[in-house]
Chains A and B, each alone.
Chain A
Amino acid sequence: MMSPAAVLKRAAPVLACIGLLAIWQAAALLLKNDSFPTAIEAIRAIPDILGDKEALINILASLRRMAMGFGIAVLFSIPLGLLMGRSRAVAAFFNPLLMVIYPVPKAALMPIIMLWLGVGDITKTLVIFLGVSLPVIYHSFEGAKAVEEKMLWSGAAMGLSSLQRLVRIVLPAALPEILTGCRTGLVLALITMITSEMIARQSGAGNILFNALDMGQYDTVFAMIIIVGAMGICLDAIFERIRARLVRWSEPQFDMPLSFS
């Protein structure tokens, strides 16, 4: 059984959503503006979009690019960040490069990338990759730097080579920090995905959104915003569950399994 407090805690995000939609509904009814549909109108437009095969293919294509960009970025950034955190030379080599790339909005690079690689999947995936990489590198770097030296010494005394120590000590020890970076990266992947499709309008969720905007189909625009937002919330929630499970050992309060929810 869940206690009332636990029920409230679980219901809080749902209540927040309902509250937000209610405010939206009230504001739209008050303003009576053509470009500001009510929440109910927007929600009604959602089944139309999700029922449309074309739109569905577009959204799935977006998700695929996002998954690719995110996946490649994580596979590339974690080893790089860990190496930077453990080797002064590697850090000194990559730091200036990353410092230059860091503040540049990745979407601003799109025109150049489009020029070189066209407006297809590669360009968009590359922009997502760039967006995700930096926070993951940064957090992996910080995590690796903070690994207690005596832990590595203990490993060395047991006969672990330096590569083994990186994989079997630095990686798990830095995992909480790495996953924090990945969580930021996941949200950034969604943002860059939509932005990239806004700039290179060819397919994808962002394309549907901005086409509808061009054509004045405002309930579709808002419906897409809801869909993209819901995608973000779901992905983040799923990721958070995985993260919490992987780094249970590091949580400050180790909660005992009181319920199996």
Chain B
Amino acid sequence: MKVVPSRSSEWVRPVTSQKPASAIIEIDRVSQVFQTSARKDHLALSNISLTVDEGAFVSILGPSGCGKSTLLYIVGGFVSPTSGVAKIKGQAITGPGPDRGPVFQEFALFPWKTVLGNVMYGPRQQGVRASEAEAQSRSLIEMVGLKGYENFYPKELSGGMKQRVALARTLAYHPEVLLMDEPFGALDAHTRTRLQNDLLNIWERDRKTVLFVTHSVDEAVFLSDKVVMMSKSPGRIRQVIDIDLPRPRRRNELLLDPRYQKYVVDIERMFDESDEVGASS
């Protein structure tokens, strides 16, 4: 019989303690209850506390339905938590803002805009001159591998292509924090690897804070400074693992690194254990 640690003490800070100067996102005992038609009150998130340091790359791993998206929406300011507070730079989050850029699981592209129109939308809204916004957007579109598709409408793109447009659209307005909800989920292995590398390059250059939801353990370990493991029903944080691997990370080097392999194996084993716990309870 294994005892699954429900919390890791190192990163769960009591509210009374002083916050570190570098914390950009602080989630403090956040719970989210949904009223659903089937189950009356559904506890999607239970007492979540998490601190994300400025410039950190933090991944959230967890089974489907454990509340990963919901947690991201709360940080985005799209959903206000039933209890607890989420803060950005010390300020309680009351709504969305251009400092936090979401990349939604559902893409949510503007279907009446072309690829270029979608990517330019944010910069234009922020008052960037049209010519400048266009130039930047074109290079972003090229970066995500969609050169030549600038004038296509979302309807004419595949799922993976839409996902890349969504990523470019958010990167285009330079949010300080990226909130990415399985942004590479719909991609083939090759494009996925390429975009992981591109994202890592951007991140190593700009040091944006990234909150990154994924199902892939490899991806989480490869990209992150910290991996937050969640469990389901109710959605809780099971464990936070610091990924102590050197940067800049190069994929081909890392794959051979025994430390990387150990992280992946350990995290995967923890998942299997949580499955057993879930099945027996």
Residues of chain A at the chain B interface (Cβ within 8 Å): 148, 150-151, 153-154, 156-160, 169, 172-173, 175, 247, 249-250, 254
A249 engages B121 (CB within 8 Å): no
Interface residue B265 (Cβ < 8 Å from any Cβ of A): no
B112 engages A157 (CB within 8 Å): no
Q: Which stretch from B14-22, B91-99, B184-192, B220-228 is at the chain A interface?
A: B91-99
B112 engages A156 (CB within 8 Å): no
B95 engages A158 (CB within 8 Å): no
A159 to B78, CA, bound (A): 13
B153 engages A249 (CB within 8 Å): yes
User: What's the nearest-Cβ distance from chain B to residue A101, in Å?
Assistant: 31
A172 engages B112 (CB within 8 Å): yes
A148 to B101, CA, bound (A): 18
A173 engages B153 (CB within 8 Å): no
A247 to B96, CA, bound (A): 29
Interface residue B63 (Cβ < 8 Å from any Cβ of A): no
User: What's the nearest-Cβ distance from chain A to residue B163, in Å?
Assistant: 13
A153 engages B78 (CB within 8 Å): yes
B112 engages A175 (CB within 8 Å): yes
- With A250-B155, A254-B153, A254-B155 as given contacts, are A157 and B108 in contact (CB-CB < 8 Å)? no
Interface residue B175 (Cβ < 8 Å from any Cβ of A): yes
A157 engages B101 (CB within 8 Å): yes
A-B contact pairs, 30 of them (CB 8 A): A148-B106, A150-B107, A153-B76, A153-B104, A153-B108, A154-B104, A154-B108, A154-B169, A156-B78, A156-B96, A157-B100, A157-B170, A157-B175, A158-B98, A158-B121, A158-B125, A158-B126, A159-B97, A159-B98, A159-B125, A160-B125, A169-B110, A172-B112, A173-B111, A247-B112, A249-B111, A249-B153, A249-B155, A250-B112, A254-B156
A157 engages B98 (CB within 8 Å): yes
Interface of B (DSSP majority class): loop
Question: Can you add 14 more A-B contacts, CB < 8 Å, to A154-B108, A172-B112?
Answer: A148-B108, A150-B104, A151-B108, A153-B73, A153-B78, A153-B108, A154-B102, A157-B101, A157-B170, A158-B173, A159-B125, A173-B110, A249-B111, A249-B153
Considering only CB atoms, which chain A residue lies closest to B118 in the complex? A154
A156 to B79, CA, bound (A): 12
Q: Out of A150, A173, A254, which one reaches B112, CB within 8 Å? A: A173
Interface residue B122 (Cβ < 8 Å from any Cβ of A): yes
Interface of A (DSSP majority class): helix
User: What's the nearest-Cβ distance from chain A to residue B150, in Å?
Assistant: 15
| Across-interface contacts of A173 in B (CB, < 8 A) | 110-112
B:67-117 near A, CB below 8 Å: 73, 76-78, 95-98, 100-102, 104, 106-113
Of the candidates A158, A169, A254, the one having the most CB atoms from chain B within 10 angstroms of its own CB is A158
User: What's the nearest-Cβ distance from chain B to residue A248, in Å?
Assistant: 8
Q: Which 5 A-B pairs have the closest CB atoms?
A: A150-B108, A156-B96, A158-B122, A172-B112, A249-B153
Of the candidates B97, B125, B156, B169, the one having the most CB atoms from chain A within 10 angstroms of its own CB is B125
User: What's the nearest-Cβ distance from chain A to residue B103, in Å?
Assistant: 9
B125 engages A172 (CB within 8 Å): no
A175 to B113, CA, bound (A): 13
Considering only CB atoms, which chain B residue lies closest to A160 in the complex? B125
| Across-interface contacts of A247 in B (CB, < 8 A) | 112
| Across-interface contacts of A169 in B (CB, < 8 A) | 110
User: What's the nearest-Cβ distance from chain B to residue A35, in Å?
Assistant: 52
A148 to B122, CA, bound (A): 18
User: What's the nearest-Cβ distance from chain A to residue B182, in Å?
Assistant: 13
Considering only CB atoms, which chain B residue lies closest to A156 in the complex? B96
A172 engages B110 (CB within 8 Å): yes
User: What's the nearest-Cβ distance from chain B to residue A233, in Å?
Assistant: 29
